[in-house]
A and B are shown apart, each in its own frame.
Chain A
């Protein structure tokens, strides 16, 4: 996907992006939806009108509807006419989480995805996960699934604390 660089944005697109930057994931409130990589594009479709493409993380993630509604209402509040389109292809990948997003996840106590999805370690689930509390790599998986579909449950064998890990997908 080749999106125009910020200097080539139409004013409507720049306005929409600045609003989108401030919208947080409802389940991980430190993580902006632009950090998460789910905003696939913003396009000016007519003067004063934008179309926004959003990629759902997991098919069944309940946050998707909440995010779509808050995108629609927040952007509309600036006076722009807004339509939101669901973008399924290519499917969302944890590789699209920004460096800032990864740092924010870790500081919030959630270990970020261990590496690119294409790495064999990630596929086999053999990643080394660093504890977000004490940075030890001596950690073990408790459960493949945790409080949301995107996370697994781990524990650190050094500091003994449990923590969540954002899975590679």
Chain B
């Protein structure tokens, strides 16, 4: 690189702390799509069959596309001239606000499908609700994403059924993943001052209204897949306030390596 003459931008930026509720909310949405997209992208070249490799890459592409729409909106709200890439590559762990379920490691294919199914079942309600937001930009992004989510959900539902109602081995494995991952769904329904403010303004859908349709869909699909729904449990951590689980550090290191090692690098 011949970047010696160019000023090197500061490596780390902070955007979400002390930000307005709208900005924090948009970051939560955008970061969840970004981190899930990164996890799905890890499958490229490793999936059990070429069709699933392409399918997971396509899901990743949609997630990253949704993240771009949301994070570029976040940069406009912030107004300091950062780009969506700055947000993806130059923030530290405590300033990234994704749902914890999105950052959980891929594990085997079945575990990825369980994670995807739970998130898709939530997103389809969330984006459907956002489509009616009083914030025109979020409404547009919600309506667009919801259409894409229908295909994601069809895919994850289909595979969950095949694996759950499959062999003893596949059943046992997805049941184990479901038992391990279910607790993270509790985070979908936690409401803090950001949610309360935006629900009151008609910008964000009320999580309570999303929960019943989510549970109906999950119960129905798990029953078809002959899987047992684990018991609910409270959750102490919250990715939405920047407190993450152990696998997150490694994901971030890989995702941000290039910009951290060579700040401002372009190609």
Contacts and interface: CB of A to CB of B under 8 A. Distances in A.
Given A88-B141, A89-B136, A89-B140, A144 B55 contact: yes
Identify which of B58, B136, B141, B155 gathers the most chain A CB atoms within 10 Å of its CB.
Answer: B58
Nearest to A146: B54
Interface stretch (B145-153, B194-202, B231-239): B145-153
B55 A145 contact: yes
Contact-residue size bin, chain A (C-beta under 8 Å from the other chain): 20 to 34
B15 interface: no
Main secondary structure on chain A at its contact with chain B?
Answer: loop
Identify which of A92, A142, A145, A153 gathers the most chain B CB atoms within 10 Å of its CB.
Answer: A145
B112 interface: no
Interface stretch (B61-69, B98-106, B208-216): B61-69
Main secondary structure on chain B at its contact with chain A?
Answer: helix
Interface in B49-86: 51-52, 54-55, 57-66, 68-69
B191 interface: no
A147 B148 CA distance: 16
B143 interface: yes
A169 B145 CA distance: 11
A41 interface: no
A135 interface: no
B139 interface: yes
Contact-residue size bin, chain B (C-beta under 8 Å from the other chain): 20 to 34
Contacts of B151: 144-145, 167, 169
A111 B133 CA distance: 36
A146 B51 CA distance: 7
B69 A59 contact: yes
A115 B173 CA distance: 39
B67 to A, nearest CB: 9
B51 A153 contact: yes
Nearest to B58: A145
A61 interface: yes
A145 B145 CA distance: 16
B254 to A, nearest CB: 20
A144 B54 CA distance: 9
Contacts of A93: 147
Interface of B: 51-52, 54-55, 57-66, 68-69, 136-137, 139-141, 143-145, 147-148, 150-151, 154-155, 158
Interface of A: 56, 58-62, 88-93, 123, 125, 142-147, 149, 153, 167, 169
